[in-house]
Structure 1
């Protein structure tokens, strides 16, 4: 079908829908819901048996009135009386009523047309707004995903919900069009949902129902819609068969949907689709359970705990849920919502019972029926639950503005966590703790104590800084059980907070009484426990670092040379420090120099000066340019830019070009044409080695010709260096301060498990050969950026 034809079809459907909505709205506005239920007595007279709340009949009629005429005719000739047992769409009613004195009176009542304010709100405004919202959803889905079959079924699902809700009032008024619309739209709600799920899950290679099952649901829904249409034809006595069939089909189909969703959830409870089915199952339950439990199912027993006009509002949950799911391709954090819902509904139950009990005690005993009490309880229960949900949001948004006298505990935790991220010693951590506690709590004094338990001697030693109140150390000495991290201990004065727990050692922070003589409130206690847990992590890390350093010292004593991983760690830390220093120089010193240079240049241009002064300022300006150039050069040497992006060959070419500008030697670099694959650590290592060799050639060897070869052989990088400098006696090559550069090259190669040899004689230049395994430590390529180190 062409796009033009699709647009025509869409426009035709929209116009029909608009005409239908206009007709139903006209019925709702102009016809008054009379709400009169009647039956035949033994004398074949029409007697009023029930009057609906907010109906016209409740205002003027009474149960027991005998209906003589409806619009001047015998009521038995009225189709609505004969088929449905109700009186609707009448202009006037004549009744016989027995008065309190036993006299029989004949009364004539004209029917006031037009919907009441209550009717306009619940039968027109709320359903109309819901239908408008669903039309907006449908239009947006059509605009975004018009060619998606799942989107098309989602649109039909939205429209069926909106039309069934909007047409329910006209159907209650026994309007033929409203009743037919409700019959088809309401019956097809679960069918369209099943079809939508079938199309949506197809993208995950899942089947919701079989094709035969889906076809069967469509046929059943169509037959029920036909039943509702036949019920408006005079002379076909099928009431209440059509209404019961509609409710039974709706209830059974929704139970079937929930059953299928549960099966899918169980099947995928440990897979990727678990959240999807949990999400859809929750949305379906929220939308349909209120209607099923409080209106549809009790309707079979002629009861209704909550009117359908209220429970129908919950049906909007499903369109909103699936609109969000389909458009954003994301899910709500349903576990978060469900956990709070179960918690809030649990704690709301008792307060709701107490409120209803107090109402029952303070009101007349028989003022309300048991059904009315159930309705009031459900309303109170729902309002308390919703209030608790709203309170959580208000606490987050409004509490800091209204409770300004309380401390900013969250800000304190954020500030404290930033401070302790740079802590390297226990004394620094204790200083940060003391500073933060004294900033938040008005306490007199703080002390830090340590409990060390000797398992062998079965004894406990308590040491402190001497600031704790008398009796605190004795109380800690007598502790029977080992307290957990974050526990608050009762002291003779103040409280003790466990802030560290490692092995047999515990760290306690003693907090003196507050100066205002008040005890710690709940917020302050929770805040202290939180920072105690933060401190506990830092204490544990500090102990682990101490243990690592001890193991490292022991390893260094047992071996003549440091292990390669130790050297690799040292070089990585060194490169991190170079990177930080280069960043500081670039962001501080270099920028300041540039600012002063521009100010000097602007001053020389804006103001007339003597020639001698101009010459002196020009010298200062040139000096500033030299300093700026030197700082830039230093930054580049400390942290060569774009090493990873350029690759080792291009990086060496750039380095050689820079070094030749400052030196008197010429360098020939030969590298094989293929790309040499090195990780970040290896690229930086080769770069530093060449940098050091070129510096030695300039300062010590006084070479004029240098040759460098770089090639890849199998899984090894082969590097060769030779110059024509003064050379040296290799027997004098020791790890002395004089040859620190050569020693650094050796250690750097050994850190990467490579091999290096030197060959030189006095007057015969200097030669270096090294090989690096290309596959070694490839996983550590990201370490050189310092991302795995604190600070």
Structure 2
């Protein structure tokens, strides 16, 4: 948040007081809208502005104004300076029949109230709220001062239109100076905004030079208005200067867009380009340029100024959001809808103008076309949004193909073979589409052989033989015949798999959405079936890799499987620690705080809460212990020996045996894979001793020589019959130890018999040996 300084207050008061004056003026003074021209000694009415008081009162064009507030017309400042009748409470016109006197003029036009009073005032109040939000929340690095002043300048300039059309001199001065300085302030803001991002693509001297020109022209405007001597030659200068300023502004923006469109800030430039194009395009090309070049206005100034609302929306979105909407998508959709709307807009415009025979102005044709074109673009854009948001609520589930594909994707994850997956697909299609019987079959491409999932009538099979001989197959292809329709789910050199329906129950053909749905769901099913086949082939291949003599997998495979297992253990440990454990700790702290601060609790309730707290603490310790078992804590920092000592200490706390551990002769430096493998082997041996051996003494020793690491384990437990070696390795966890040792290119020896305890010796080399073949 920025500190509020006195100069900020002065600037803010200037805008608020000016806006208050303009609002009061717009409400109390009517917009007469009468244009005059000096013809001889008379001031003749040449034009009546649409929506004005004179338009509603049907003041006749061609009549002359004989007096204004009892004086000659040229004595009234608006006539002498601008050849218009404004800010007058009474005037007299002379027609061919008789004079008419108009007094006590009041503003009652709803159109004028909406465009010149209500909307500008609401816009200014909204800008005040936005300026407050920027002042409170936007960091200073975003040049918030320039942004706030720009917003207030645009809002006050918009509001000054209502006074300018009434020929109020202060309103005219504000309207000219504020609209001239607004694009310069915007360029100043852009320079400071991108300066914080270390992006420079135009000089700040340009901004200062434009400030000088704007101040000079605005000063001349003020002098001429104050002296009531407004030269005709000066009237078009502010407009041409405003045109030059807009050219500079758009040149700066589009130059930045061209330079940085592929950079990370490219989206920011695109947002600004779109926002300023929407804000200024109608005013420049439909009001300013036609007025300066041809003396006509396709839209009125109040309509053009209305689009300025896009500016605060654009820049507030840029500085308050961390993630921006996909502007490329928006631009492409609007461009597509604009092109799509050209022909219907032209045809509709021709039809309307043909029906309205009174239209004679080309400007009116352009206005009608632009209005229709914009309405078409807005309609198509809103329709797309509504289709996305409301379609699933407005249409029944039977025809919600998108939801069906989502359900199908979820159900696919639970299937382990192609047959079950095809049945899921069949049930889903039957549930979504209004179809008759559905059959699934596979046909051999070279032999007249079928594999059916359910009994298929003979006439259907004969129909297949006739219709499918010369068909060019592809996944997702749809075949329609008089017997029904089918979709190809699988196709290879050997067989074709198809899902066939006997037709829809309402005897109609497949529509476009149904065909797209069938093709999409068949492609998804085919991908799932191919993946299942690949997995089955992989499992079979792995089974063949297992040695028939030793029943061991190749070393590389053992290492791969245990690496995957350790990664899963690590992820599970992280998930438990970051979710369940943290939630338990939070509940424990809340319960402890409750017991400590609620002194009014009954003793029995407090004792019960203490019991629950202790149970919760036990659960926390259990979760921590589980996390440590899944992923040994600090094993990399502590090293293998200290980690094994910590592990042994944990097991002795939970068991009835005593462990004697020797590691004096271990000096080897092992990699992380071997350290973790030894840790897991010891962990498994101690678990077996605790669960099965009933041992009282366990001995462990870890040592090494110049080439090998030696791990020895023995206990005085029950032992076992080692003659059933394969069964032994399959049921009490020793198979995992064997595979780990195998993965290290090591050797494992076991010496055990009933009642004689259990002994295991493991040896493996320091480093892995590269395997030549499997």
Check if 1:511 corresponds to 2:501. Answer: yes
SS in 1 for 2:727: coil
Stretch deviating more after TM superposition (176-185 or 347-356):
347-356
| Matching residue within 388, 407, 413 for 1:396 | 388
Change (3 A) 1:549 1:182: same
In the TM superposition, residue 548 of structure 1 has moved relative to its aligned partner by 2.9
Check if 1:419 corresponds to 2:417. Answer: no
Change (3 A) 1:436 1:760: closer
For residue 591 of structure 1, what is the aligned residue in structure 2? none
The answer as to whether partners of 1:720 and 1:770 remain within 8 angstroms in 2 is no
For residue 251 of structure 1, what is the aligned residue in structure 2? 243
In the aligned structure 1, how far is the partner of 2:665 from the partner of 2:135?
59
Stretch deviating more after TM superposition (519-528 or 49-58):
519-528
Unaligned regions of 5+ residues in structure 2, if any? 581-618
In the TM superposition, residue 546 of structure 1 has moved relative to its aligned partner by 3.8
For residue 306 of structure 2, what is the aligned residue in structure 1? 313
SS in 2 for 1:707: strand
| Matching residue within 62, 67, 70 for 2:68 | 70
Stretch deviating more after TM superposition (288-297 or 347-356):
347-356
| Matching residue within 644, 647, 653 for 2:646 | 653
The answer as to whether partners of 1:286 and 1:314 remain within 8 angstroms in 2 is yes
Change (3 A) 1:317 1:658: same
Change (3 A) 1:214 1:492: same
For residue 180 of structure 1, what is the aligned residue in structure 2? 173
Aligned length: 708
Stretch deviating more after TM superposition (527-536 or 549-558):
549-558
The answer as to whether partners of 2:151 and 2:312 remain within 8 angstroms in 1 is yes
Check if 1:88 corresponds to 2:78. Answer: no
For residue 532 of structure 2, what is the aligned residue in structure 1? 542
| Matching residue within 315, 327, 342 for 1:349 | 342
For residue 272 of structure 1, what is the aligned residue in structure 2? 264
In the aligned structure 2, how far is the partner of 1:579 from the partner of 1:208?
50
In the aligned structure 2, how far is the partner of 1:230 from the partner of 1:525?
74
For residue 204 of structure 1, what is the aligned residue in structure 2? 197
The answer as to whether partners of 2:570 and 2:631 remain within 8 angstroms in 1 is no
For residue 467 of structure 1, what is the aligned residue in structure 2? 456
In the aligned structure 1, how far is the partner of 2:448 from the partner of 2:184?
73
In the aligned structure 2, how far is the partner of 1:688 from the partner of 1:78?
102
The answer as to whether partners of 1:160 and 1:186 remain within 8 angstroms in 2 is yes
Matches within 5 A, 1:402-441: 402-404=394-396, 406-441=398-433
In the aligned structure 1, how far is the partner of 2:393 from the partner of 2:93?
64
The answer as to whether partners of 2:697 and 2:716 remain within 8 angstroms in 1 is yes
Aligned-pair Cα RMSD in Å: 4.3
SS in 1 for 2:324: coil
For residue 609 of structure 1, what is the aligned residue in structure 2? none
The TM-score with structure 2 as length reference comes to 0.80
The TM-score with structure 1 as length reference comes to 0.78
Check if 1:145 corresponds to 2:138. Answer: yes
Matches within 5 A, 1:355-366: 355-361=348-354, 363-366=355-358
In the aligned structure 2, how far is the partner of 1:16 from the partner of 1:149?
23
The answer as to whether partners of 2:746 and 2:765 remain within 8 angstroms in 1 is yes
| Matching residue within 706, 713, 732 for 2:699 | 706
Change (3 A) 1:542 1:247: farther
In the aligned structure 2, how far is the partner of 1:306 from the partner of 1:503?
68
In the TM superposition, residue 667 of structure 1 has moved relative to its aligned partner by 3.6
Change (3 A) 1:671 1:489: farther
Change (3 A) 1:670 1:356: same
In the aligned structure 2, how far is the partner of 1:192 from the partner of 1:303?
29
The answer as to whether partners of 2:36 and 2:83 remain within 8 angstroms in 1 is yes
In the aligned structure 1, how far is the partner of 2:153 from the partner of 2:627?
66
SS in 2 for 1:706: strand
Change (3 A) 1:179 1:660: closer
In the TM superposition, residue 21 of structure 1 has moved relative to its aligned partner by 1.2
Unaligned regions of 5+ residues in structure 1, if any? 100-104, 588-630, 777-791
For residue 277 of structure 2, what is the aligned residue in structure 1? 285
Residue deviations 1:286-339, cap 9 Å, x none? 211122222121122122222221222221112111101101233221122122
For residue 46 of structure 1, what is the aligned residue in structure 2? 43
The answer as to whether partners of 1:727 and 1:765 remain within 8 angstroms in 2 is no
For residue 768 of structure 1, what is the aligned residue in structure 2? 762
In the aligned structure 1, how far is the partner of 2:408 from the partner of 2:671?
41
| Matching residue within 555, 576, 579 for 1:564 | 555
The answer as to whether partners of 1:760 and 1:766 remain within 8 angstroms in 2 is yes
In the TM superposition, residue 581 of structure 1 has moved relative to its aligned partner by 13
In the aligned structure 1, how far is the partner of 2:283 from the partner of 2:116?
17
In the TM superposition, residue 371 of structure 1 has moved relative to its aligned partner by 2.2
The answer as to whether partners of 1:37 and 1:50 remain within 8 angstroms in 2 is yes
Check if 1:9 corresponds to 2:7. Answer: yes
SS in 2 for 1:666: strand
The answer as to whether partners of 1:30 and 1:115 remain within 8 angstroms in 2 is no
In the TM superposition, residue 433 of structure 1 has moved relative to its aligned partner by 0.4
In the aligned structure 2, how far is the partner of 1:291 from the partner of 1:272?
31
In the aligned structure 2, how far is the partner of 1:223 from the partner of 1:366?
46
For residue 445 of structure 1, what is the aligned residue in structure 2? 437
For residue 121 of structure 2, what is the aligned residue in structure 1? 128
In the TM superposition, residue 247 of structure 1 has moved relative to its aligned partner by 2.6
| Matching residue within 522, 535, 544 for 1:532 | 522
In the aligned structure 1, how far is the partner of 2:163 from the partner of 2:557?
83
In the TM superposition, residue 188 of structure 1 has moved relative to its aligned partner by 1.6
In the TM superposition, residue 495 of structure 1 has moved relative to its aligned partner by 1.7
Check if 1:487 corresponds to 2:477. Answer: yes
Matches within 5 A, 1:88-107: 88-99=86-97, 105-107=98-100
In the TM superposition, residue 393 of structure 1 has moved relative to its aligned partner by 2.8
The answer as to whether partners of 2:670 and 2:766 remain within 8 angstroms in 1 is no
SS in 1 for 2:105: coil
Change (3 A) 1:439 1:296: same
In the TM superposition, residue 422 of structure 1 has moved relative to its aligned partner by 2.5
SS in 2 for 1:241: coil
Check if 1:478 corresponds to 2:469. Answer: yes
In the TM superposition, residue 432 of structure 1 has moved relative to its aligned partner by 0.8
In the TM superposition, residue 15 of structure 1 has moved relative to its aligned partner by 2.8
Change (3 A) 1:156 1:98: same
In the TM superposition, residue 725 of structure 1 has moved relative to its aligned partner by 5.2
| Matching residue within 631, 638, 645 for 1:643 | 631
In the aligned structure 2, how far is the partner of 1:304 from the partner of 1:775?
86
Residue deviations 1:483-535, cap 9 Å, x none? 3x333222332222233456776533222212222333444333323322321
Stretch deviating more after TM superposition (474-483 or 194-203):
474-483
Residue deviations 1:39-96, cap 9 Å, x none? 222x243221111012222324222112222222222233322332212112222233
In the aligned structure 1, how far is the partner of 2:373 from the partner of 2:530?
47
Residue deviations 1:170-203, cap 9 Å, x none? 1121212211211221112211111111111122
In the TM superposition, residue 128 of structure 1 has moved relative to its aligned partner by 0.9
In the TM superposition, residue 149 of structure 1 has moved relative to its aligned partner by 5.4
The answer as to whether partners of 1:128 and 1:166 remain within 8 angstroms in 2 is yes
In the TM superposition, residue 34 of structure 1 has moved relative to its aligned partner by 1.2
In the TM superposition, residue 576 of structure 1 has moved relative to its aligned partner by 9.9
SS in 2 for 1:302: coil
The answer as to whether partners of 2:751 and 2:759 remain within 8 angstroms in 1 is yes
The answer as to whether partners of 2:239 and 2:288 remain within 8 angstroms in 1 is yes
In the aligned structure 2, how far is the partner of 1:660 from the partner of 1:89?
98
Change (3 A) 1:564 1:655: same
For residue 323 of structure 2, what is the aligned residue in structure 1? 330
In the TM superposition, residue 386 of structure 1 has moved relative to its aligned partner by 1.3
